[in-house]
Structure 1
Amino acid sequence: MRVLPVRDDAVLVELADLDETLALVASLEADPVAGVVDVVPGARTLLVAFRPSAVSAEALARDVRSRPLDALAAREATLRRIPVRYDGEDLSAVAELLGVAADEVVRRHADAEYAVAFVGFAPGFAYLTGGDPLLDVPRRSSPRTRIPAGSVALAGTYSGVYPRESPGGWQLIGTTDLPMWDLARERPAFLEPGDRVRFDLVGTERASVSVAATATDSGENAAAKAREDDDVAGFVGLEVLKAGLQTTFQDLGRTGFTSMGVSASGALDPVSLRAADRLVGNDTTEATLEVVVGGLELRAHGPQVVAVTGAAVPLTLVRRDGSRRSAPLHTAIALDDGDELQLGMATAGVRAYLAVRGGFAEEPVLGSLATDALSAVGPAPVTAGRLLGVRPTVGAPSVMVESAPARALPRAGEETVLDVVLGPRTDWLSADAVSALTGQVWDVTPQSNRVGVRLAGTPIERERTDELPSEGCVAGALQIPPNGQPVLFLADHPLTGGYPVIGAVVADQVPLAGQLPVGSRVRFRVVGPFHEIGGPAEAADGGSDPRSDTNPEHDEPEQAGTDHR
């Protein structure tokens, strides 16, 4: 067992195999460690997130090392059957790789019984083990940008079914019409850890689906649809005149659904979200509108109190009589019936947060109003013409402040410094990888989104070229794909990933990373050497690794702009 750093509030426990991983999960469920907030199993690892105020990484490492891992508790397993047409476009290539006929690949795949080992990548995406040992194939060297929902695929010794259209690098051997993820079902994920699975071979015609519910629109709730048909007369709330570039509902995220492959998601800048809620007197868990860049325009129906925080967007208040004036950020704004509020384009940061007193009267999806861009879980993005109901306030506001302090946010062309904890896969990269990470300034590219900030610079090279078994990831992780250009994961990142992570931005700076605009620049500063937590090397000499050079000449870089730590 090795315990590796992931972030200042998470570690990765590396184990011998999947059985040990599942045994450790069962042990932590039966006898929890105080301060552990979540666990995400991988192929042979367990990501453990914790509260540093309650338990240290070293104490956590000592605890997990003390636990027996030789007994996996027996569980009653439900058999789930999936009808499949073996018509995948990689079937012939897989057969050629394995040196057998395509019919033999089909026979071996359909004859085996599988078990759901863990769930990740996307809601409802289950990693299936127990297949025929012959069916061991590498991921595609060039991942596809679009894989249709229902694609049955292979990667390494795993089988899986893509629950929704998404990018991916697995080998496609078939398709099914059975939805793997459906919020209309009592159990949205068709497959969950511990289930047994069999694939039933069907003809080339569409497979017969034996599940009553069919795929839904992934969270666009019935209440929102009903309001679109309502007469505006009598409505109390906010009417969307212009939706801007992208406006979604966001709160602090959803917890307790990692077993279904559902990540927390939530506001990319929770600091600004909480500030907006305090300004209007809401509980700080209340949902707000997250507005990308700007362009949102709203009209009040009935008196409303709103506040906008986060990205520096100019605000214009248009009174019902047509008069206009500027309105302040980080301050509560009273709107009378018929008043309009317009958000201009951001000059610093990229995401603004608009809260309304009482909160939005939307129906939660899996207990939250967070809209997850990767998995399409949550309310639909806000569009022009939509009527956003507001709940009435009862009694005095819970917390209300006159103004919230503005934070210095990144600007296009300026440089932001982010502190990084090295690990867990720093040693999978070249000996000069850390110097390559810290010794240059990275550009934020237009391909960035809520899943991650895509960076461009001199590539970071890998030392190990073998496949990394899928393992849990955190927001702030710096994943290094084959092209060597880092992706800085944000709130909507997949739960598990198969590319090495060189390090992660410290937890309290992840909100700042969510405010990096396209065209801004980033420099990374390592806060300490890479080492196993509580391991022999650390005890002996600090665990120094050739890749742990923190590049002291860049510890205090000459700034081209502002240090936005």
Structure 2
Amino acid sequence: MIRVLTARDDALLVELDDLDQAVALYESLTADPVRGVGVPVPGARTLLVPFRPSAITARVLAAELRARPLERRATSAARTVEIPVRYDGADLAEVAGLLGWSTDELVRRHTAAAWTVGFVGFAPGFAYLTSDDPELVVPRRASPRTRVPAGSVALAGPYSGVYPRESPGGWQLVGRTDAPVWDVTRERPALMLPGDKVRFTAVRDLVGPRVETPTEPAATGAGLGPGTLEVISPGVQALVQDLGRPGSEGAGVSASGALDRPGLRAANRAVGNPSDAAVIESVGGLRMRARGPQVLAVTGAVGDVVVRPGAGGPGSGGSDTAHPGADRPDRRPRPGEPFALDDGDELRLTAPARGVRAYVAVRGGIDVPPVLGSRATDVLAGLGPDPLEPGDLLPVGVPDRGLTATSASGSTAPGDLADAPAPGGLPAAGEVTELRIVLGPRDDWFDAATIERLTGQDWLVTPRSNRIGLRLEGEPLSRVPEQEGTELPSEGCVTGALQVPPSGQPVLFLADHPLTGGYPVVGAVVADHVPLAGQLPAGARIRFTIQHHPGGTP
């Protein structure tokens, strides 16, 4: 039986009987796409289907999804992947004991089983594998590890998987492999994708060193293109961001990208860049120096913007009170206004009074190497440039012809900044910000009184929040009694999802969230309010209001 549930105002979650049906629907939509539908995300028995409301309504899409066949394609052409494993995992003996087997029997059964990739989630390249051995089922660890080494081969529930990179994890470790399950330098970065067949083979010794995928440097030497920007201080955090890398969800990769996309687009428009050019996303206190003349603009959550004249090269401007350009006064460009930096000039941003993230665009864009088609830093997946550090040199690209920066007076074409929240409208600590949500897909795990508690109180944004999600604090949300202690099979989650862990304190997912999750999502912030959520500082309060689905009930 198919259930079609609301996941956001522009996404549906299709609940099916089992993994085979979920993969069958995924294959159907991949082979025969629906106009206006994005890349689906398979889960254990669900399929997350994003769509563009201007192209198709939720009701029409739901009818189309219910009409799709749920039979798997012929497997004769399925790709087979062989994974060599040294079975010396920390939990090998414990898992064998849980199953009532010897360790030799566990290894024999794990290698004899035929495994199939059901879906990819948790981390880029992390494939959830199911087998034809119904007895290979073990519980997760009661206490997750804070560090699981890359290449660990693990079991949990009916699944087996290989950790692509070091990360926390609660699966049972039975072995390790050197197979490069995730490599962004390959045409197909994920070694295993939905529908692939997998065989594990036991080996005594792993051949060669573990394959590590080096992160491309965020900076290179001076002299590339029309100049560089030197990082003097990144402040609290400074990252390279663009509009993200949509389209790789099937490999377990979230889109990521700027949290305040209207702010990024506005900064790029101000300097004459394409809207998707890479910029710097700054949290409090960025200082940079121009190496070569540049044109910049700052939007988003902006404090003071100060341009301090330099002496025409690196090493200038080293004092707060006296500097080689002291014969020229400091300048204070307005937010959204393009301004010039001469060679050696320094840009200083102070922490904003409202909001969190400022966007610094330079004409030509930040020209670091793209990863999977994007220059964005994904802090959870470890993709893109590292967070910026003092001394980093960011190469500036060559500006596109025909695009000009807005005038020096700061004027723009009508509507240029219409989709960027005004600085005075950004949220501040201690104030209440209203966010609209749609309920679902798991609002039926909560009773009417709990939904009233969700919308009837102000939720505090705690300091433990980051680009992965806002951790909220308030009167806890409780599940209905029949769902207490229930483990939800992993399913796709949207940006803006309100996931409710056992503590009852929701987490509001932001751009770098895991692609799939195992806690129920009671609702999701509507797409238009997601940028506002990305500007909420610690200490701000949120009041959620329910918006009915504009495309009708699916």
**1:369 matches 2:383:** no
Please say if 1:77 is aligned against 2:78.
yes
Instruction: Tell me: CA distance 1:105–1:398, structure 2 relative to 1, closer, same or farther (3 Å).
Output: farther
**Equivalent residue, structure 2, for 1:306:** 296
Residue number among 211, 218, 223 corresponding to 1:214 in the alignment: 211
Question: Equivalent of 1:329, from 329, 332, 335?
Answer: 335
Q: Residue 517 of structure 2 is aligned with which of 492, 497, 517?
A: 497
> 1:240: how far off?
1.4
Within-5 A mapping of 1:302-451: 302-320=292-310, 321-322=325-326, 323-397=329-403, 400=406, 402=411, 404=417, 406-407=422-423, 408-451=425-468
2:267 counterpart of 1:268: no
- CA-CA distance at 1:186 after TM superposition: 3.7
Partner residue in 2 for 1:520: 540
Q: Mean Cα displacement is larger for which, 464-473 or 272-281?
A: 464-473
Match of residue 257 from structure 1: 248
Map residues 17-96 of structure 1 onto 2, 5 A cutoff. Answer: 17-96=18-97
- Alignment-mate amino acid for residue 379 of structure 1: P
* CA distance 1:443–1:84, shift in 2 (3 Å): same
Counterpart of 1:453 (choices 470, 477, 488) is 470
Partner in structure 1 of residue 494 of structure 2: 474
Q: Once the 2 structures are TM-superposed, how far is the Cα of residue 392 of structure 1 from its aligned partner?
A: 2.9
CA apart distance, 1:398: 5.4
Query: Would the alpha carbon gap of residues 425 and 446 (structure 1) be closer, same or farther in structure 2, given more than 3 Å must change?
Result: same
Distance in 2, Cα, partners of 1:532 & 1:305: 46
Secondary structure, in 3 states, of the residue corresponding to 2:30?
A: helix
Letter in 2 for 1:96: G
Matched letter for residue 335 of structure 1: L
3-state DSSP of counterpart to 1:369? coil
* Cα distance in 1 for residues equivalent to 2:140 and 2:399: 53
Aligned CA distance change for structure 1 residues 177 and 68 (closer, same or farther; 3 Å):
closer
Could you tell me which amino acid in structure 2 is paired with residue 434 of structure 1?
I
Q: Which amino acid aligns with 1:306?
A: L
AA at the equivalent of 1:308? V
The residue number in structure 1 matching 2:112 is 111
Letter in 2 for 1:184: T
Q: Secondary structure at the match of 1:181?
A: coil
What is the CA deviation profile of residues 28-80 of structure 1, one whole-angstrom value per residue up to 9, with x for unaligned ones? 22322111022111111111000000100000011111122235343512322
Kept in 2: contact 1:476–1:506 (CA 8 A):
yes
Moved more, 153-162 or 107-116: 107-116
Is contact 2:85–2:177 with CA below 8 Å preserved after alignment?
A: yes
SS in 2 for 1:26: helix
* Equivalent residues of 2:278, 2:367 under 8 A apart: no
For residue 61 of structure 1, give the secondary structure of its aligned residue in structure 2: helix
Residue identity in the other structure for 2:518: G
3-state SS of 2:265 partner:
helix
Q: In 2, Cα distance between the equivalents of 1:399 and 1:60?
A: 41
Q: Give me the identity figure in percent.
A: 58
Query: Given the superposition, is the C-alpha separation of residues 533 and 18 from structure 1 closer, same or farther in structure 2, using an over 3 Å criterion?
Result: farther
Deviating beyond 6 angstroms after TM superposition, the runs of 4 or more aligned structure 1 residues are: 232-235, 529-532
CA contact (8 A) 2:271 2:404 kept: no
Shift of 1:131: 4.6
Separation of aligned partners in 1, 2:477 and 2:105 = 41
Structure 1 residue 532: deviation in Å?
10
- In the superposition, relative to structure 1, how do residues 166 and 187 fare at CA in structure 2: closer, same or farther (>3 Å)? same
Query: Aligned AA for 1:214?
Result: V
Specify the alignment match of 1:511 in structure 2. Answer: 531
Distance 1:267-1:144 versus aligned 2 partners, 3 A rule: same
Contact persistence 1:91–1:173 (CA under 8 A): yes
2:494 equivalent to 1:485: no
Give the conservation status (yes or no) of the 8 Å contact 2:120–2:128: yes
Query: Are the counterparts in 1 of residues 289 and 347 from structure 2 also a CA contact under 8 Å?
Result: yes
Instruction: Give the aligned partner of residue 538 of structure 1.
Output: none
Tell me the residue number matched to 1:556.
Answer: none
**1: CA distance between counterparts of 2:152 and 2:28?**
34
Tell whether the 8 Å contact from 2:240 to 2:278 is kept in structure 1 after alignment: yes
Q: Deviations over 1:447-468 (max 9, x none)?
A: 2111111112222122312221
2: CA distance between counterparts of 1:281 and 1:411? 30
Does the Cα contact within 8 Å between 1:183 and 1:219 map onto a contact in 2? no
1:381, distance to aligned residue in structure 2 (A): 2.0
Alpha-carbon deviation of 1:413? Answer: 1.5
Q: Give the CA deviation at 1:102.
A: 3.3
Amino acid at match of 1:215: E
Instruction: State the shift of 1:23 in Å.
Output: 1.7
Backbone CA RMSD of aligned residues? 2.3
Alignment of 1:71-220 (within 5 A): 71-203=72-204, 207-208=206-207, 214-220=211-217
Q: Closer, same or farther in 2 for the Cα pair 1:429/1:95, shift >3 Å?
A: farther
More deviation in 80-89 or 301-310? Answer: 80-89
Q: Using structure 1 for the length normalisation, give the TM-score.
A: 0.88
- Structure 1 position 285 matched with structure 2 position 280: no
Q: Which amino acid aligns with 1:362?
A: V
Q: CA deviation digits over 1:378-429, x for unaligned, max 9?
A: 1222221122221233543257472547241111111111111100011123
Separation in structure 1 between the aligned mates of residue 189 and residue 377 of structure 2, nearest angstrom:
16
**In structure 1, distance between residues paired with 2:160 and 2:498:** 27
Q: Please say if residues 4 and 532 of structure 1, whose CA atoms lie closer than 8 Å, have aligned partners that are also in contact.
A: no
> Distance in 1 between the 2:341 and 2:217 partners?
28
C-alpha deviation, 1:365, in angstroms: 1.0
The answer to whether the Cα contact below 8 Å between 1:235 and 1:301 also exists between their aligned partners in 2 is no
Residue 546 of structure 1 corresponds to: none
Provide closer, same or farther for how the CA distance between residues 532 and 73 of structure 1 changes in structure 2, counting only shifts above 3 A. farther
Q: Deviations over 1:156-180 (max 9, x none)?
A: 1111111111222222222223232
Question: Distance in 1 between the 2:365 and 2:548 partners?
Answer: 42
Alignment match, 2:320:
none
Task: Tell me if the contact between 1:422 and 1:530 (Cα under 8 Å) persists in the aligned partners.
Answer: no
Distance 1:530 1:44 in 2: 26
Q: How far did residue 233 of structure 1 move? A: 11
SS where residue 58 of structure 1 aligns? helix
Q: Is the 8 A contact 2:39 2:250 kept in 1?
A: no
Cα pair distance change 1:433/1:89, threshold 3 Å: farther
Q: How far apart are 1:234 and its partner, in Å?
A: 10
Aligned equivalents of 2:527, 2:475: Cα separation in 1: 26
C-alpha distance in structure 2 between counterparts of 1:457 and 1:81, whole Å: 48
Structure 2 Cα separation of the partners of residues 65 and 505 of structure 1: 26
Could you say if the C-alpha distance between residues 431 and 141 of structure 1 is closer, same or farther in structure 2, counting changes exceeding 3 Å? Answer: farther
